[in-house]
């Protein structure tokens, strides 16, 4: 199983096993970080890691990770969307809205996913 699929499996476990949510999310993060050791410029891995970090509330780390993906040339709408989520989590609404806007004009990779975001809660 590749790292992205393994990470998704941990996230699905987190969604169905709320009592172990933190452990499953930590495992999802660990799988992606481990894979990035061998593929440091893989923007899909980086975008997925950004989503996992956002979901854990590690917004500052997520911003750093996702900005790296953009510097490496990611054109995935999920990269921009997840960066918007991270910026919203850091109370930077204008920057977040700019990223959400950029995400709308791009195609989404089938390998990546978006971080959870509740605009009503912001």
Give the model confidence (pLDDT) of 38-51 as tens digits. Answer: 999 999 999 999 99
DSSP 105: T
Cβ atoms of 115 and 57 closer than 8 Å: no
Query: CA separation (Å) from 2 to 32, 34, 68?
Result: 10, 11, 22
Determine the 3-state secondary structure of 1 from DSSP.
Answer: coil
Report the chain's mean pLDDT, rounded to a whole number: 95
pLDDT class for 122, splitting at 50, 70, 90?
A: low
Neighbours of 26 (CB within 10 A): 15
**What's the pTM value of the predicted model, to 2 decimals?**
0.94
């Amino acid at each position: 199983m590749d790292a992205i699929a393994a990470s998704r499996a941990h996230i699905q476990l987190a969604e169905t096993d709320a009592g172990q949510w933190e452990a499953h999310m930590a495992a999802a993060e660990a799988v992606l970080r481990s894979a990035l050791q061998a593929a440091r410029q893989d923007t899909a891995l980086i975008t997925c890691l950004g989503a996992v970090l956002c979901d854990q509330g590690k917004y500052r780390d997520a911003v750093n990770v996702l900005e790296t993906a953009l510097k490496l040339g990611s054109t995935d709408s999920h990269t921009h969307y997840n960066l918007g989520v991270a910026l919203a989590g850091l109370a930077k609404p204008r920057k977040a809205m700019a990223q959400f806007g950029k995400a709308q004009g791009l195609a989404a990779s089938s390998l990546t996913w978006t971080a959870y975001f509740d605009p009503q809660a912001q």
